């Protein structure tokens, strides 16, 4: 075994429903601007294609729980998202073959320091400070597909303190799940352990300490967090 200078502990991982196994997370990719209503609420042009960015793997918060309010921000937002878990290597994958790369699905929350994101965007700098921070990716357990189809319909929603803030259907994504996998594989070699957060519908908004957040995707699962 290698003798590392530092022991970094266990790899970030998600539980898999119906098993005692864990899905080790290799990378977290995220899709920007993948629902028309969210594009409009953010003041962007609906003709702009979605694009990809990343979060660090240790931003994963398996099954949710208590999330510390992050530093530096005064405008901390929720974004509920359909999550795809990659289980097979793929590069330049055709859309009609992309479903074979998907091991399972989940629902996650892309937590965002919106003010820092906008400052970076306006200065034409990378978004990392607004998107890639500690505890920024709570996620439900994975539902394995076991050879079944990748879900293309289902209500996705998020509530804050019991009040619904986001509600849509994943069939309204501009790029559907298999198209996302195919497009992402043109720029990166997808590998087992990759997660893809596929974008958020309209209704994003601020969170404060004490807020309780419940996110769900019909037929897939749910995740709850509390901001502390």
- Cβ(108)–Cβ(131) below 8 Å: no
- Cβ(180)–Cβ(196) below 8 Å: yes
What's the pLDDT score for residue 41?
Answer: 61
Residues of the chain under the 70 pLDDT cut: 37-50
What's the pLDDT score for residue 34?
Answer: 87
Cα–Cα distance, 126 to 105 (Å, whole number): 28
Cα–Cα distance, 142 to 106 (Å, whole number): 5
Regarding beta strands 51-55 and 205-206, do their DSSP bridges make them parallel or antiparallel, or are they unpaired? unpaired
- Token pair, residue 4, equals 């590392």
What's the pLDDT score for residue 1?
Answer: 75
What's the pLDDT score for residue 44?
Answer: 60
What's the pLDDT score for residue 68?
Answer: 98
pTM of the model: 0.94
- Token pair 């859309």 is found at 95
**158 by DSSP, 3-state: which?**
strand
Cα–Cα distance, 198 to 50 (Å, whole number): 10
What's the pLDDT score for residue 165?
Answer: 98
**23 by DSSP, 3-state: which?**
strand
What's the pLDDT score for residue 154?
Answer: 98
What's the pLDDT score for residue 32?
Answer: 85
What's the pLDDT score for residue 158?
Answer: 98
Q: What is the CATH number of domain 13-227?
A: 3.90.850.10
């Amino acid at each position: 075994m290698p003798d590392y200078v530092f022991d970094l502990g266990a790899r970030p991982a998600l539980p898999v429903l119906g098993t005692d196994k864990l899905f080790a997370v290799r990378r977290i990719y995220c899709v920007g601007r993948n629902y028309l209503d969210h594009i409009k609420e953010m003041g962007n042009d609906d003709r702009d294609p979605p694009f990809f960015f990343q979060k660090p793997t240790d931003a994963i918060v398996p099954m949710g729980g208590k999330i510390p309010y992050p530093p530096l921000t005064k405008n901390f937002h929720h974004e509920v998202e359909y999550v795809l878990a990659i289980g097979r290597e793929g590069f330049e994958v055709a859309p009609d073959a992309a479903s074979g790369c998907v091991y399972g699905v989940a629902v996650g929350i892309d937590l965002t320091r919106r003010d820092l994101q906008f400052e970076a965007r306006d200065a034409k700098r990378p978004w990392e400070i607004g998107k890639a921070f500690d505890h920024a990716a709570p996620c439900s357990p994975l539902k394995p597909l076991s050879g079944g189809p990748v879900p293309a319909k289902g209500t996705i929603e998020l509530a804050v303190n019991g009040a619904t803030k986001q509600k849509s259907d994943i069939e309204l994504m501009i790029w559907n799940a298999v198209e996302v996998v195919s497009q992402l594989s043109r720029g990166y070699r997808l590998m087992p352990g990759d997660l893809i957060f596929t974008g958020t519908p309209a209704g994003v908004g601020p969170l404060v300490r004490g807020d309780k957040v419940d996110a769900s995707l019909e037929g897939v699962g749910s995740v709850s967090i509390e901001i502390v």
